């Protein structure tokens, strides 16, 4: 079902100007619509803030201030901002509409990209960010969702909704803004945001384009934040063997955990990118990446959510496998719901006001613990065990044990380990997995390290390996039927484009990408090319009679529609074709319609009265009024010079450029 039908704004006129035609995307902070500016008659994108946020006056004020800032950015790779306003409870931003897709769509569709394609996309992104950085602004939310790729191939950076001046404090009521998977360590740890946070995010995006996966992953935002702080982004060649060393260097430079090691801004990173490209051979630039891991489809990857302060407590031990993190993502579970948080623009609690300890030297920015605090914690733990814990240990002695680690073990090995620990194997669940080897244990319940009564049962989840399916043959099948067959095969219908075909019936599938018989992961998208029918070149029929023009177009395989409103034409006679749409020479599909506009003839204008005037004056006056002049002297007017009569009386109307005959005596 089309969810736009349920949107109350679709079909409405916002602010007495913007007609909302459809919904493009929904986020946690705003909804983007395709709209028409009825004053200027142009298509644009309308970003409308959610009413819950619009009720926050401070949030709205910041939205308006930052919209004005972005409107001052003028760059071919930045989505333009046209207007901003409010209509009742709706706060909106009118922006340039880019017909095409996002980089996220490309990654979901293609997986890893060739190095040449990745650099071709990143270069205009850095050019846009460089213009913003040199103008004094930081984007703060760079991610594939905010990189638009137009149908004409142009790349534009969108959604400067979180933009801030470089020297502006980033604190917003005790929170910072950003997307978990692309946050720089200093944003997480200190709440600071300068041009280098955009550089870090671009490094993560480059890694994702080269490998098809994010460098840091986890079941919850807390786990990803922890990795940003404590683990370097790995070299792309570790995931895609054969990638050239300059690409590893470029990613490492952009994603250095210590901000001072990174390029200062996007302009500096752009210079490094061009140096890296120059160092690569044509073969290295065109290296075909494996398509084993495309970015996993996330149901809400571009939505905006609120992550409460506990989500930033990344120094605590990570949740155990299969466990839950009740403080992550609006109290959601770890796992899929937690995974959805990783690509969302999030609001995170800012760090304490006390200045943080300086980072360690070199690439690492791992936080250091105060040894005195560690010693106090150890002493407190010892006292707790020796005191309150003694009775509990005595009571439970011999009744409980811990679940041994069995992950990545074969089913037989896992059973043996559990048996040695005095535990029994309960249910065996089997699931598909793209990362776990077939026949190995993916998870246990209870998880490894959990306490369990001896002789209790442990449920094992064993990998069935990747769930792959073959692309079915849907050529010559109507689009709706082809989509159903793809879904039945375990695949998702992807982007639909249209093309001419002499062989395939209009509305049926010409080809798929990947092609028929290729193996893809279950749930992967398959692009479809649908036939527009046989290509027909539109003949020119302007100036022909209505009947002749209709016959010529129908003979070419096209349909004809006559416009209700006729137009005046100085060139075409009444009843002939004055205009045609599409014009002569354009390509249409067989059966498409050409609209003809019929001429009412030339416009009617008033004829001046020239009787009694001499011939020359009368001729000049008639010609100035838009008429041709013919003289009738007869036998008696050979030597005359005065107009005695005119073929159309003065004050009457006649067609422009028609001939007025004057009789001279």
Give residue for tokens 């280098």.
196
Of 141, 298, 327, 576, catalytic: 141
Q: What phi and psi, each to the nearest 5 degrees, are found at residue 222?
A: -60, -40
Catalytic: 141?
yes
Q: Rounded distance, CA 455 to CA 450, Å?
A: 14
Q: What phi and psi, each to the nearest 5 degrees, are found at residue 605?
A: -130, 160
Give residue for tokens 């250091």.
368
| DSSP state letters, 309-366 | GGGG-TTSPPPPTT---TTSTTTPPTTHHHHHHTTSEEEEEPPPSSPPPPPPSSS--P
CA dist 282 → 245, 475, 543 (Å): 14, 35, 55
Q: Please give the structure tokens belonging to residue 181.
A: 């998977």
| List of E strands, 344-464 | 345-349, 400-402, 424-431, 441-445, 451-453, 457-463
**3-state secondary structure labels for all residues of 497-508:** EEECCCCCCCCE
CA dist 320 → 223, 317, 450, 562 (Å): 11, 9, 9, 71
Q: Rounded distance, CA 171 to CA 351, Å?
A: 10
Question: Taken in order 575, 576, 577, 578, is the CA torsion positive or negative?
Answer: negative
Do the beta carbons of residue 307 and residue 347 sit within 8 Å?
yes
Of 527, 401, 531, the C-alpha closest to 478 is 531
Alpha helices in 157-300 (DSSP H): 185-189, 195-211, 221-230, 236-239, 245-254, 266-279, 282-285
For the annotated catalytic residues, the residue numbers are 141
């Amino acid at each position: 079902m089309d969810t736009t039908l349920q949107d109350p704004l679709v079909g409405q006129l916002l602010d007495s100007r913007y007609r909302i035609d459809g919904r493009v995307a929904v986020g946690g902070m705003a909804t983007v619509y395709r709209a028409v500016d009825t004053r200027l008659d142009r298509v644009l994108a309308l970003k409308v803030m959610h009413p819950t946020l619009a009720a926050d006056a401070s949030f709205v004020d910041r939205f308006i201030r930052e919209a004005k800032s972005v409107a001052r950015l003028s760059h071919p790779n930045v989505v333009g901002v046209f207007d901003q306003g409010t209509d009742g409870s709706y706060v909106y931003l009118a922006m340039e509409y880019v017909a095409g897709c996002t980089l996220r769509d490309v990654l979901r569709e293609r997986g890893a990209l060739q190095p040449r394609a990745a650099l071709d996309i990143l270069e205009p992104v850095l050019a846009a960010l460089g213009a913003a950085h040199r103008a004094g602004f930081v984007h703060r939310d760079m991610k594939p969702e905010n990189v638009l790729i137009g149908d004409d191939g142009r790349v534009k950076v969108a959604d400067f909704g979180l933009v801030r001046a470089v020297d502006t404090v980033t604190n917003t009521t005790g929170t910072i803004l950003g997307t978990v998977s692309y946050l720089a360590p200093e944003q997480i740890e200190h709440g600071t945001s300068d041009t280098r946070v955009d550089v870090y995010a671009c490094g993560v995006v480059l890694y994702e384009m080269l490998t098809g996966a994010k460098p840091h992953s986890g079941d919850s935002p807390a786990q990803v934040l922890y990795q940003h702080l404590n683990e370097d982004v790995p070299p792309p060649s570790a995931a895609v063997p054969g990638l050239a060393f300059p690409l590893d260097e470029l990613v490492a430079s952009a994603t250095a955990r210590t901000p001072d090691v990174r390029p200062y801004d996007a302009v500096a990173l752009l210079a490094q990118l061009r140096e890296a490209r120059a160092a690569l051979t044509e073969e290295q630039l065109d290296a075909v990446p494996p398509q084993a891991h495309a970015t996993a489809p996330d149901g809400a990857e571009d939505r905006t959510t609120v992550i409460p302060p506990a989500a930033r407590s990344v120094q605590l031990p990570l949740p155990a496998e299969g466990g839950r993190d009740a403080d992550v993502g609006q109290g959601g579970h770890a796992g899929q719901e937690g995974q959805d948080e990783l690509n969302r623009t999030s609001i995170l609690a800012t760090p304490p006001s006390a200045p943080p300890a300086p980072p360690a030297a070199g690439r690492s920015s791992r936080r250091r613990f105060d040894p005195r605090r560690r010693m106090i914690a150890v002493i407190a733990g010892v006292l707790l065990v020796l005191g309150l814990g003694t009775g509990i240990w005595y009571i439970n002695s011999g009744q409980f044990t811990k679940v041994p680690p069995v992950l990545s073990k074969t089913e037989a090995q896992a059973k043996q380990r559990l048996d040695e620990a005095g535990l029994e194997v309960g249910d065996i669940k089997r699931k598909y997995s793209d990362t776990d080897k077939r026949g190995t244990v993916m998870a246990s319940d209870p998880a490894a390290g959990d306490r369990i009564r001896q002789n209790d049962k442990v449920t094992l989840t064993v990998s069935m390996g990747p769930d792959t399916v073959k692309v079915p043959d849907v050529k010559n099948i109507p689009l709706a039927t082809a989509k159903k067959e793809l879904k039945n095969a375990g695949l998702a219908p992807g982007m639909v484009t249209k093309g001419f075909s002499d062989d395939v019936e209009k509305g049926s599938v010409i080809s798929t990408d990947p092609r028929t018989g290729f193996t893809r992961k279950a749930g992967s998208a398959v692009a479809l090319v649908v036939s527009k029918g046989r290509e027909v070149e539109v003949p020119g029929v302007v100036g022909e009679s209505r009947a002749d023009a209709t016959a010529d177009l129908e003979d070419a395989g096209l349909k004809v529609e006559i416009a209700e409103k006729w137009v005046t034409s100085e060139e075409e006679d009444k009843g002939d074709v004055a205009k045609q749409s599409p014009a002569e020479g354009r390509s249409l599909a067989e059966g498409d319609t050409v609209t003809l506009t019929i001429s009412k003839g030339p416009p009617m204008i008033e004829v001046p009265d020239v009787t009694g005037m001499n011939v020359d004056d009368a001729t000049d006056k008639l010609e100035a009024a838009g008429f041709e002049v013919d003289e009738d002297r007869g036998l008696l007017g050979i030597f005359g010079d005065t107009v005695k009569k005119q073929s159309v009386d003065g004050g009457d109307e006649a067609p422009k450029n028609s001939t007025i005959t004057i009789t001279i005596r």
